[in-house]
Structure 1
Amino acid sequence: MTTTELVPTLTLDLKGLLCPMPVVRIAQAVKKLQIGETIEALATDPGVLADIPAWARTTGNELVSLEKRSSDIRFVVKRTK
């Protein structure tokens, strides 16, 4: 790991959950974080590719990364408000 790599405060396993549950779980978890802390989440619902960026925009939180991998989708959200 390089010194610039982000270490998430929390990791959520959202695999197997379908819309809207990944967004609901992320929203609940973000409320528990301090401003500046991050959540890494792993999901399998392809809907998160559109839903999580839209949620981040509407809530003012930062989508740090979004990566579709062979077996899942990994994303990192940073609490900004």
Structure 2
Amino acid sequence: MACCGYGGPPLNYDKRIDCGQTKILNGTLVEARGCNDSSKYVNWDGLHYTEASNRYVSAQILSGKITIGMRTILSQN
């Protein structure tokens, strides 16, 4: 389930309320709702990637379309 959430731009995320919760924040009753179709979203709560996003990235890596050379990996240390 992707969370269409609560919190506004840029990520529609507020750490005070988890996906699926209803809470009073700043004197207002708010609900962090799940999205109807999580396959259309990159992350589910503003921080964590959805299964659809992970599937896409994995497919790109496994097909060789995205590669990171050893030189790049070693230069990051």
- TM-score interval, normalised by the smaller of the two chains: under 0.3
- Structure with greater Cα Rg: 2
**RCO higher in 1 or 2 (8 Å CA, sep ≥ 6)?**
1
TM-score (norm 2): 0.23
